[in-house]
Structure 1
Amino acid sequence: MSDEQCGSVRSLQDLGPIARRLTERRAQAQAEERARREAVARVQAERHLFAQAVGPVTPLAPRNPARQQPSLPAPIPVQQQRDEQRALQESMSDEFDVSTLLDTDDTLSFRRPGVGPDVTRKLRAGHWSIQRQLDLHGLRTDEAREALGAFLRDARRTGLRCVRVVHGKGLGSPGRTPVLKTRVQRWLVQKNEVLAFVQARPAEGGAGALVVLLRPGLR
């Protein structure tokens, strides 16, 4: 056998293992493809298992579906505020005549019926310490009335007994007439929580302020 023939035989012998490896790879690829297809089939079968078990299903028409309401802001009690403001205005009238209820000796004072004159004397002398003050300077009439009403309610609720209300002497009013001073007196007389009031001492505001004694609070 010639060298050329011997080389051809060796080449064919070398191709045998290569062919076997190619065959094994094709078989492995085919096996992997079958496994992938079987896995896909199992997933699809599991997805449709319930439908296959119960058969055809007709969906029910929705009845009164629940509708989620959007969250709304807290309501503003407008009517309640109006009612309170109206009640406040009605309870402190500008037309109320207090001339017969005020003592106008050396200094102005008021005491509710049943309250002895010693109360106003003690109030004027500073027997009760002033616990809080309301300054009405610069307020319009309606603003001052509302501020005074709120101040008295809060003072009564917190158990205060003696407060001072500064209304000014009215020197800046038209005609230098103390309009707010007169109205504050009228309003205080109409409030049941007010037992008495006196004109403040000079060091406490004099003719521009009143010292007010309140009924015992609700604490």
Structure 2
Amino acid sequence: MLNCIIIDDEELARALLKSYVDKLNFLTCKGEFENPLEALSLLKNENIDVIFLDIQMPQLRGTDFAKLVPAQTRIIFTTAYSEYALDGFELNAVDYLLKPITFERFLTAVNKVNSTVEVSQNTSQTITIKSGYDLHKVKFEDIQYIKSDSEYVTFYTENGKIMAYQSLKSLEESLPPSQFMRVHRSYIINKAKVTGLKGRDLVIAATKIPVSDSYYEHVKETLFK
């Protein structure tokens, strides 16, 4: 199942795309937005696989908004202006749909997303972290723990820290549970990096990670059998 959102300042365009989404049993629309900035909160708290994103909007151009979304979120640009196609593909968009959009063309674009997500889930041992305008490809095994601070998260790795605009909840849903676990409302840890438990704190690379009461028994049973 793929989660998507639709961002377009034209109501009719949003309605058309939503009707196409509703025809597919593997695609779920989590929201429709006229103003792209209103979608940022949802992107921070939900795991969104694909955004249908209009390019020419009065509040913020889609090509500029695309730089703000999590790196793992696929983008399909939609526009009535063919001259924007190059901008879209330079931002590594999965596809570019020229209005008026037919269902057949829509389905082709969605199937591209579906195939890339399946490949990523089956073969990837890395995560791509978007920090500002930079992209960092980090191996799961190099992540020690992740700490949430307001609207941002910080990845603590073998090679230093990386800050990203993302919620801990969406990360928890995207990271493999065989390697990572939530231990606190502000922390996700790499199970393999834990070297001890002191009181209510896990020890990772000489750093103490607090464990919430609600997670404590599960942490002990999982990591210290």
* TM bin (shorter chain): under 0.3
Higher share in strand: 2
Q: Which has the higher contact order (CA 8 A, sep 6+)?
A: 1
TM-score, reference length from structure 2:
0.21
Rg larger for: 1
Higher share in helix: 1
TM-score, reference length from structure 1:
0.21
